[in-house]
Amino acid sequence: MIVAGCDIGSLTAKAVIMENGQIASSAVIRAKPAPEDSAREVMELALSSMKASPGDISKCVGTGYGRKHIPFVNAVESEIVCHARGAVWQVPTARTVIDIGGQDAKAIRVDESGGVVRFVYNDKCASGTGRFLEIISDALDIRLEDLGDIASKSEKRITLSNQCVVFAETEIISLVNEGAEIPDIIRALHSAVANRAASLARGIVVENDVVMTGGVARNSGMFAALGAALGVSLKSVDNPQINGALGAALIAADTA
Amino acid sequence: MITAGCDVGSLTSKAVILKDGRILKTAIIKSRPKPADSAVEVMNQALSQAGLSMGDISSCVGTGYGRDRIPFVSDTATEIACHGRGAHWLVPSARTVIDIGGQDCKAIRLDAGGGMLKFTANDKCASGTGRFLEVMARLLGIELSEIGGMSAESKSPITLASACTVWAQADVIQHLNNRVPVADIAAGINNAMAARMAIIVNGIGCERDVVMTGGVAKNAGVVAALEKMLGLRIKRISRSDPQLAGAIGAALIAVDREKGGAA
């Protein structure tokens, strides 16, 4: 049986195709202005890499910010439910999932079968979301994917005094002008985002094991900073960015 | 007795020279990167207009964000103290003072004598501060001073989906792309600003008369929206520029402290 999950986020669109309980193919693209276009393109990419066609998929579940606009899905499911399900499939011992996305952050407590126990969500404030990293990397003319490596070269610990992205951007520009080292600044940035996400997560009482999902988890600096902010040893998942789409595919398999 | 107040804010710096309880001269400049430079420049501007030199000032109190780096002050006072004192002098019936700074928002409750009863401040989040309006004006390609008047031209203001300055920018860009008239976007921005301020003010309880100090008090759109949200009229400051309230308060505190010291 072939099933699929499609996760249309604000920054990226993800698709996962599963065959007989295993990941057969996956794809990640930058989101287009129209969610329909993102959905079609990312699904075509995933299908073509396993030489399958849309007709081979018996069921597809959509999730993410743009889930209501995906033309080919049979059902939709919330991101919270999909991330919980995907994380427990990837790490069966996971009991807390922290997902940092491009414009939100979520912390979810899950049970052993991947069900949601409780969750908390921030989409009101850009601090603690991937957008914070994006804005600062833009301002410093650094590629988002290079942030982790740059932070690893930090030799001196500095702390940002502002939590607000708007104020922090000004503070970071002043730090650069005052001659602070970029790796130290990036490490401080990671800590600021992580502290904000950690305080969100503490609202639902963090229980081990803790996994981090979402594209931001691929940034090794953020992964380390979040572990430090929570005071736990975070478990990594092989595919943090496709976790939501994976959860959607698993839910598709349940009902196919 | 001639005293001075110098208010070095994040966006603008203000100086006021007081002589025998009257405002002699004032100055407002855009703040420089270094607070010390802003302070010297704005004070020199006020002094030269008054035909005075620093030696003629018996004491000067510094306030604002950069108050600890003003080289020539005899003393400093908090912004809350200065705005409270300045607002009471400008409008003696004032019991609630709302001050919007370049990167904060304060609400102060005063007693009949101008003494501070309580206050609240937001300096953690750019929303509801002058920075929010600054970012939005830049996005719209208009001057900060222009945005306030645009509410009056708008027939159907937009509603911003989020209070966060970052998310609101994305929202405004989308409205601009959809060719929504700039006046409608500006009016929506003024309303969002007022909504955020109303939450802060209501946190300490709003009592009449209410006055607004700081540069945003000159933004007619924000003032009108805030009046609607609070359900009362905000008393206008006519005796001086509302943006000078902090520096006026500082100069008055300089007088108080001299008198106190002499007694």
pLDDT digits (tens), chain B, 263 positions? 999 999 999 889 999 999 999 999 999 999 998 999 999 999 999 999 999 999 999 999 999 988 999 999 989 999 999 999 999 999 999 999 999 988 899 999 999 999 999 999 998 999 999 999 999 999 999 999 999 999 999 999 999 989 999 999 999 999 999 999 999 999 999 999 999 999 999 999 999 999 999 989 999 999 999 999 999 999 999 999 999 999 999 999 999 998 886 44
B236 contacts: CB under 8 Å, gap ≥ 6: none
One domain for residues B101 and B148 = yes
One domain for residues B28 and B157 = no
- The range of the structural domain enclosing residue B113 comes to 93-236
Read off the amino acid at residue A180.
A
The total of structural domains in chain B comes to: 2
Whether the CB-CB separation of B249 and B63 falls below 8 Å is answered with yes
Whether A126 sits inside 8 A of B125 (CB atoms) is no
- List strand residue ranges (DSSP E) for chain B, in order: 2-8, 12-19, 22-30, 59-63, 75-76, 96-100, 105-110, 116-122, 210-213, 234-235
One domain for residues A8 and A99 = no
What pLDDT does B186 receive?
A: 97
DSSP string, B143-204: -HHHHGGGGGG-SS----S-SSHHHHHHHHHHHHHTT--HHHHHHHHHHHHHHHHHHHHHTT
One domain for residues B110 and B138 = yes
One domain for residues B228 and B110 = yes
Is 90 exceeded by the pLDDT of residue A256?
no
Q: Percentages helix, strand, coil for chain A, rounded to the nearest 5?
A: 45, 20, 35
Residues written for chain A: 256
Number of DSSP helices (H) and strands (E) in chain B, helices first: 8, 10
One domain for residues B47 and B86 = yes
Whether A103 sits inside 8 A of B124 (CB atoms) is no
Distance CA B48, CA B40 (A): 12
Distance CA B36, CA B10 (A): 12
Is 50 exceeded by the pLDDT of residue A192?
yes
One domain for residues B110 and B65 = no
Read off the amino acid at residue A41.
E
One domain for residues B198 and B70 = no
The pLDDT tens digits for A197-216 are: 999 999 999 999 999 998 89
The pLDDT tens digits for A58-89 are: 999 999 989 999 999 999 999 999 999 999 99
Q: From residue B183, how far is each of B121, B156, B186, B188, B223 by CA, in Å? A: 30, 9, 5, 9, 16
One domain for residues A81 and A50 = yes
One domain for residues B122 and B224 = yes
Q: What b-and-e string marks burial along B225-240, b requiring 16 or more CB atoms within 10 Å of the CB?
A: bbbebbeeebbebeeb
Whether A124 sits inside 8 A of B165 (CB atoms) is no
Q: Are strands B116-122 and B105-110 parallel, antiparallel or unpaired?
A: antiparallel
One domain for residues A218 and A146 = yes
Q: Which residues pair with B18 in a beta bridge?
A: B3, B23
Q: How far is A42 from chain B (nearest CA, A)?
A: 24
Q: Closest by alpha carbon to B96, among B236, B194, B205, B240?
A: B205
The pLDDT tens digits for A17-27 are: 999 999 999 99
Which spans in B51-115 are helix H? 79-90
For residue B162, give the nearest of A124, A163, A177 by CB distance.
A124
Whether B165 sits inside 8 A of A135 (CB atoms) is no
Using an 8 Å CB-CB cutoff, list chain A residues near B135.
Answer: 166
Global ipTM:
0.86
What pLDDT does B261 receive?
A: 62
Distance CA B129, CA B87 (A): 19
One domain for residues B74 and B151 = no
Confidence of residue A123 (pLDDT cuts 50, 70, 90): confident
Q: Which one of A104, A138, A164 would you mutate to disrupt binding with B, by most B Cβ within 10 Å of its Cβ?
A: A164
Q: How far is A136 from chain B (nearest CA, A)?
A: 12
Read off the amino acid at residue A226.
L
CATH at residue A87: 3.30.420.40
Chain-centre distance for alpha carbon B103 = 10
Tell me the residues of B at the A interface, defined by beta carbons under 8 Å apart.
33, 103, 124-126, 131-132, 135, 162-167
Q: From residue A185, how far is each of A64, A102, A150, B138, B232 by CA, in Å? A: 32, 21, 10, 26, 46
- List strand residue ranges (DSSP E) for A95-145, in order: 96-100, 105-110, 116-122
Distance CA B157, CA B183 (A): 8
Token pair 């309230």 is found at B245
Q: Which one of A104, A123, A167 would you mutate to disrupt binding with B, by most B Cβ within 10 Å of its Cβ?
A: A167
One domain for residues B204 and B258 = no
CATH at residue B254: 3.30.420.40
Number of Cβ atoms within 10 Å of the Cβ of A224: 18
Read off the amino acid at residue B213.
T
Return phi, psi of residue B256, to 5°: -55, -45
One domain for residues A230 and A256 = no
One domain for residues A105 and A140 = yes
Q: Which residues pair with B98 in a beta bridge?
A: B107, B212
Residues written for chain B: 263
DSSP string, B192-214: HHHHHHHHHHHTT---SSEEEES
Residue of A nearest to B33 (CA): A174
Q: Which one of B103, B105, B125, B193 would you mutate to disrupt binding with A, by most A Cβ within 10 Å of its Cβ?
A: B125
Distance CA B225, CA A242 (A): 45
Confidence of residue A134 (pLDDT cuts 50, 70, 90): very high
One domain for residues A118 and A227 = yes
One domain for residues A46 and A79 = yes
One domain for residues A133 and A228 = yes
Give the pair of three-digit tokens for residue B223. Answer: 């003032």
The total of structural domains in chain A comes to: 2
Distance CA A35, CA B185 (A): 25
One domain for residues A97 and A22 = no
One domain for residues B99 and B222 = yes
What pLDDT does B263 receive?
A: 41
Chain-centre distance for alpha carbon A184 = 24
B189 contacts: CB under 8 Å, gap ≥ 6: B132, B133, B136, B140, B147, B160, B168, B172
One domain for residues A126 and A72 = no
Using an 8 Å CB-CB cutoff, list chain B residues near A165.
Answer: 126, 165-166
Give the pair of three-digit tokens for residue B46. Answer: 């006020």
One domain for residues B136 and B215 = yes
Greatest Cα-to-Cα distance within chain B, rounded to the nearest angstrom: 66
One domain for residues A243 and A228 = no
- The range of the structural domain enclosing residue A243 comes to 1-91+239-256
Q: Closest by alpha carbon to A252, among A82, A9, A49?
A: A82
For residue A167, give the nearest of B33, B103, B164 by CB distance.
B103
One domain for residues A101 and A203 = yes
The pLDDT tens digits for A166-187 are: 999 999 999 999 999 999 999 9
Distance CA B135, CA A122 (A): 23
